[in-house]
Amino acid sequence: MSPMHNAGAYMIPLEEYPTILESENIYDAIRILKENLHKNNSPWQGHRLVVALNNNSEPVGILTLKCLLKAVCLRLMAEDNSFKSESVSWYFIDEMRAKGKVTVREVMRPLEQFSLDYNNSVFKAARIFINQGINYLPIKKDQKVVGILNSRELFFKYYETTRFKALNRHWLSNNSSVSAFFKKSALRLIGN
């Protein structure tokens, strides 16, 4: 496969991302994200996620904007009277929130949840983005996460490299003789 179709070619190395300990409060994570987005005195330039580390400084998860929205959903659950009356979990969620102790670990996405090998294709990455509804995909090399593939970066850099010449045509339409062969075989099988 051409290197320009490798998912790894479009990733951002892990060390470029801001980090936070998984035991830290999510308010600290929000502050880090906001500071990061205002790098170079310009809005929106920075990364939109924080890499979560364990006590051994090993990356264990990513905290994205949608992970932070989960914390809002926790608050809405805690305020829901029907949830309060029906679920024992309400007590623990309420305690956690009351002490301001919603930590990064509670809402982050573990690195192991979705990942892709460095040499897998960008098309496979696109399929995972679509099917799983995610925007960031950890990239592994020799079983170790080395970077994050971002759907925005994938789109822009892939366009720069290929101008999307490989797209916009279904594989089968480019190989109409193949599709005609299958159709003919099918018709022969059913006796037409």
CA distances from 11 to 6, 14, 38, 116, 138 (A): 10, 9, 22, 11, 8
What's the length of the chain?
Answer: 192
Coil, helix or strand for 101? coil
Of 125, 113, 115, 104, residue with least CA distance to 146: 115
Closer residue to other proteins, CB minimum distance, 99 or 163: 163
If one asks whether residue 151 binds other proteins (CB under 8 A), the answer comes out as yes
Closer residue to other proteins, CB minimum distance, 21 or 71: 71
Closer residue to other proteins, CB minimum distance, 42 or 56: 42
If one asks whether residue 161 binds other proteins (CB under 8 A), the answer comes out as no
Q: Under rule CB under 8 A, which residues in 84-143 are in contact with other proteins?
A: 102, 121-124, 126-127, 129-130, 133, 135
CA distances from 175 to 121, 145, 166, 182 (A): 21, 37, 13, 11
**Residue type present at position 191:** G
Of 18, 30, 47, 37, residue with least CA distance to 103: 30
Span from 53-61, 80-88, 108-116, 178-186 in contact with other proteins (CB under 8 A): 178-186
Token pair 């600290």 in the structure block, residue:
28
Closer residue to other proteins, CB minimum distance, 54 or 123: 123
Q: Under rule CB under 8 A, which residues in 35-94 are in contact with other proteins?
A: 37, 42-45, 48, 65-66, 68-73, 75-76
If one asks whether residue 164 binds other proteins (CB under 8 A), the answer comes out as yes
If one asks whether residue 27 binds other proteins (CB under 8 A), the answer comes out as yes
Main-chain dihedrals φ then ψ at residue 138, nearest 5 degrees: -60, 140
State the residues that interact with other proteins by CB under 8 A: 26-27, 30, 33-34, 37, 42-45, 48, 65-66, 68-73, 75-76, 102, 121-124, 126-127, 129-130, 133, 135, 151-152, 154-156, 158-159, 163-164, 166-173, 179, 182-183, 186
